[in-house]
Structure 1
Amino acid sequence: MGLPLEILRIVLPVIIVGGIVLFVMLRMKHKYEKGTLGKKKTKSAQDFLDSLIPLGILIGFAVALLLSLFSPISLLSSIAWGTGIGMLFGYVAYEIYSKKEESYS
């Protein structure tokens, strides 16, 4: 009974994070084909909008690395979870920021 549980513990993060990545990629592809990707008027705001998803991945990676240093969670598992959740948070931030109106103050 121990071997199937061990295999599940190893494979489950890859399956869940793979689902998150597929969700984000397919949503972005759908928005691109529909022509509803977020557009900002200034170049700096557009650059920030375009970098939200990679920034989320990097922050998730850093948090996962720190978490694995101070807890008994394995490094590879925490990196998989951290980058996947960071990508999802980056996508949510992208959606929120792309709908936000620019202020000129």
Structure 2
Amino acid sequence: MGFVMALAPVVIVGGIVVFVIERLKHKYNQGNLGKNKSKDAQDLLDSLIPMGMLFGCAIDVVLGMFSPISLISTVSLGTGIGYLFGYFAYEIYSKKETAIHK
């Protein structure tokens, strides 16, 4: 049981990372990757995924203090989930900005 609990975060976060990278690769190959005319808007767009990772990690560190799951597992899961939410924010914001500039 301990072996499964040790590998579960790696498998879950690995699946999230592969999903996000493949989606971004697909968008890049189609030429649909979010680009903004404003440098400030582009900087914000480019920083959404790393900010999601930082917020996810910080939230899970706090939650990990009060849960029986090991802190290493919660940090990795929080970072992976933040990565996924950062990607979703990237998708939403890139569509919003593209619609405004057309």
**TM-score, length of structure 2 as denominator length:** 0.90
The sequence identity of aligned pairs, in percent, is 61
2:59 to 59, 63, 70: 63
Deviation at 1:47, TM superposition (A): 0.4
1:85 maps to a residue whose letter is I
Deviation at 1:99, TM superposition (A): 0.4
1:27 aligned residue: 23
Measure the CA separation in 1 of the matches of 2:87 and 2:28: 14
CA deviation string 1:31-80 (max 9, x = no partner): 11211100112100000000000010011111111111232221111011
SS in 2 for 1:36: coil
The total of aligned residue pairs comes to: 99
> Would you tell me which structure has more helix in proportion to its own residues?
2
> Which runs of 4 or more aligned residues in structure 1 lie more than 6 Å from their structure 2 counterparts after TM superposition?
none
1:94 to 82, 90, 95: 90
Measure the CA separation in 2 of the matches of 1:48 and 1:65: 25
Q: Which has the larger radius of gyration?
A: 1
2:42 aligned residue: 46
1:7 to 3, 6, 17: 3
